[in-house]
Amino acid sequence: MTDPDALAQQAGRLSERVQLLGEYLDPDALEARVGELEQQMGAADFWDDQERAAKVSAEHARQGQRLAEYRALSDDVSDLGELAAMAREEERAGSLTEEFTQEIVDGLARAEDRLFVLEESRLFGGEHDAGDAVVTIQSGEGGTDAQDWAEMLLRMYLRWAEDRGFTATVQDRQDGQEAGIKSATFTLEGGNAYGLMSAERGVHRLVRLSPFDSANRRQTSFAAVQVAPLVTDEAEVEIEDKDIRVDTYRASGAGGQHVNKTDSAVRITHLPTGVVVQCQNERSQTQNRATAMNMLRSRLLELEIQRREEEAAKERGESMTIGFGSQIRSYVIHPYSMVKDLRTGHETGNTQAVFDGALDPFMRAELERRAKGLAVVGED
């Protein structure tokens, strides 16, 4: 049976963290902001401007949910503290039961998980952090092994998104000749999706015994992860018609007769930058083009964000390369099992859990490092 004193101490620590979170979130200010948004939404001409109305409605939902979640958590942690105090009294009276202590243990675990998610909110101060994301995975050096590794990364992120309750939609997938994928792009929808996934931008390295080598030799493979904020507002990133080339082609993969018999897939090349995006997920060429244009805007915005970060790094006297040349994490399966982030030093020996989507600790460590302005740890 769990010691009631230990439960009381755990509840006390949770209460302190909730109080610190409240100082950051400022529930009174949140409530005032939700009230302001509700007043705007109640105006007779609110829906005359559809674009503005959508933004106001989205902010109202986001802020209202954050306020409700914080207050519910605060109340629950307070109740758990009282239950822990009751457990102490019942222990002294000799009437404490295993069922009652287990109820408190389970409640504290659930509260810990909810607090962990809410605490993340203080790590997202960027302009696009709260929004959705476009994620592209590209295989790198390593041939078929690298393409297989890219597909493993895709599966890892889709599992992580499912566990977080996010919506992940694969917009394009280019299969490798023997196995895996050459590249894949998916959109990610959910609270702070871009802020979270931005921690994954960079090159990921896998070390293992190659399943594609007849001699079963050790192989090092690379894949790059690109992350951009999902842009649907044409005014945010303007693209001139003369700067793009649009190609159509027959979509590959699953999708039925329509996908296989029509040139519904769309590839758009941005001539000034060389950025290429493609979409084959939608049923019509028109839909694929619209989605591809949003993806292109997102990629161009990503380039601008990278440029600003590089300039800021130079001003701080740091050397910073974002993209295919910046290795951020190593996943080693042979000769030992270890996943280690080379920026934060965070590591785990449970490689299978990571491949199954257990990425939150790695993301959190990187977001904490950024928030504190700490230097990259580097590789041993």
Q: Domains in the chain and their CATH numbers?
A: 4-123 (1.20.58.410), 133-234+322-372 (3.30.70.1660), 241-313 (3.30.160.20)
301 CB-side CA count, 13 A = 23
The CA distance from 225 to 154, in Å, is 10
Q: Is the bond preceding 335 in cis, omega lying within 30 degrees of 0?
A: yes
Specify the pLDDT at position 233: 66
The CA distance from 328 to 223, in Å, is 11
Count of other CB atoms within 10 angstroms of residue 183: 21
| Antiparallel, parallel or unpaired: β 275-279 and 327-332 | unpaired
Give this prediction's pTM.
0.73
Count of other CB atoms within 10 angstroms of residue 213: 13
Is residue 70 within 8 Å of residue 21, measured between CB atoms?
Answer: yes
Is residue 279 within 8 Å of residue 172, measured between CB atoms?
Answer: yes
Question: What is the pLDDT tens value at each position of the chain, 380 positions in all?
Answer: 689 999 999 999 999 999 999 998 899 999 999 999 999 999 999 999 987 898 899 889 888 988 999 999 999 999 999 999 999 999 999 999 999 999 999 999 999 989 988 888 788 878 788 889 999 999 998 789 999 999 999 999 999 999 999 999 998 898 988 899 999 999 999 988 999 999 999 999 999 999 998 888 899 999 999 999 988 766 568 888 899 999 988 776 544 444 445 678 899 999 999 999 988 877 788 889 888 988 898 989 888 887 877 776 665 555 444 444 568 999 999 899 999 999 999 999 999 999 999 999 999 999 989 888 887 876 54
Residues in the chain, total: 380
